[in-house]
Every structure is written in C-alpha cells, then in structure tokens.
Amino acid sequence: MVTQSEFSYKLKILELGGKIRNILLSADEPQLAALAKRFDLAALERLDAEIMLSIEGSEISANGRFEAILVQNCIASNEPVPAVISEPVSIRFIPEPQIDQEEYEILAEDCDVMFHDGQVIDLGEAIAQSLGLALDPYPRSPNADKILKAAGVKGEDEDESGPFSVLASLKKKMAEE
C-alpha cells in the first residue's frame, strides 16, 4: 500500500457535502518527476485530470478523464518512446470493509474501487494509479525489430523450432497439393 502518494490530492468527505463537484487536477514539476520515477518513465511531461465527483450515501463516484504526455524506454533498445495517453476515469470510493477473515474475494465490479477511511479520499492517488494501468507494459521504438534482429533475436514468425512451425509447414504442404 502506498503511504505517501507522489500526486496527492486529498479531499475531506464531510466538506464535499451532497453536491456534485467538478475538479481539475494538474501535476506540478516535483510531482511529475516523482511519478516518472514511480512508473519507471524516461519523462512525464504533463498529467491533467478533469473529474466530476458525486456522493451517494458513503459512496463517492469520480468520473471524468485524464491526459498525460510521457516518454517510456523501449524494452528492446532503451530508446525513448513518446506517448500521449487520454483515458476515461470511473472510480468508486467506498468505505474500507471490516473483514475478519484472511481472504477477501474481489468481484469484477470491484475492480475500479478504492477504499476510504470515512474521512478523506485521495483523488490524486486514484489518478496516479489510473495512469499506471494505462501505460504500455512493453513500449517499443520503431527501430526495435531491427535492433533485435541485429542482436540475433528471432521474431515469433521466424522461429522454426516452435510448436506452430510444424503446423505451418503442414498448411503450406496442403496448399501445394
């Protein structure tokens, strides 16, 4: 669990009242640098979010969109791979469950849920986690295939010893007949 968020924007639940609130978030330079380090980015140039908060009982809904301009490192060549991410956000903040058992089953509808302590929610951390989920896990530069090939790494379609190579040769043989 993250104890101190790099992009913290805490809101007191009692101050939110029962009304809908529109919130604009924008990470400053130190926050961008800290988030870039957290997500192993070459650079995070911008992170902005426009969120509408609504409250129903003890549940707070955050809906909107975030945008980020960033640079990741190519997994093959370590070359910079620029990216622009623009993603919708739909997160429910619910009270932290009181669980006495060791296991807690998370259902599909719980995947975009964050817990709150009844006092505050951290909207900035929710956006940071959304950014982390939106990142390309395997960024590749346009030169990645050429660099890998020069290093002797074969692509999936070039591997002649794989399990599908036999099927490919059978298919080719049947097509010739």
Q: Over the stretch 69-93, which tens digit does the pLDDT of each residue have?
A: 999 999 888 999 999 999 999 999 9
Residues 134 and 57 in one domain: yes
Residues 14 and 99 in one domain: yes
Residues 156 and 80 in one domain: no
Residue 5 lies inside a defined structural domain of this protein: no
3-state class of 135 per DSSP? coil
Residues 172 and 120 in one domain: no
Residues 119 and 34 in one domain: yes
- Residue 111 pLDDT > 60: no
Q: Please list the residues that pair with 121 across neighbouring strands.
A: 11
Residue 133 lies inside a defined structural domain of this protein: yes
Tokens of 101: 């058992």
The larger pLDDT score, comparing residue 4 to residue 144, is at 144
Residues 87 and 155 in one domain: no
pTM score: 0.77
pLDDT attached to residue 170:
75
3-state class of 112 per DSSP? coil
* Domain containing residue 175: 151-177
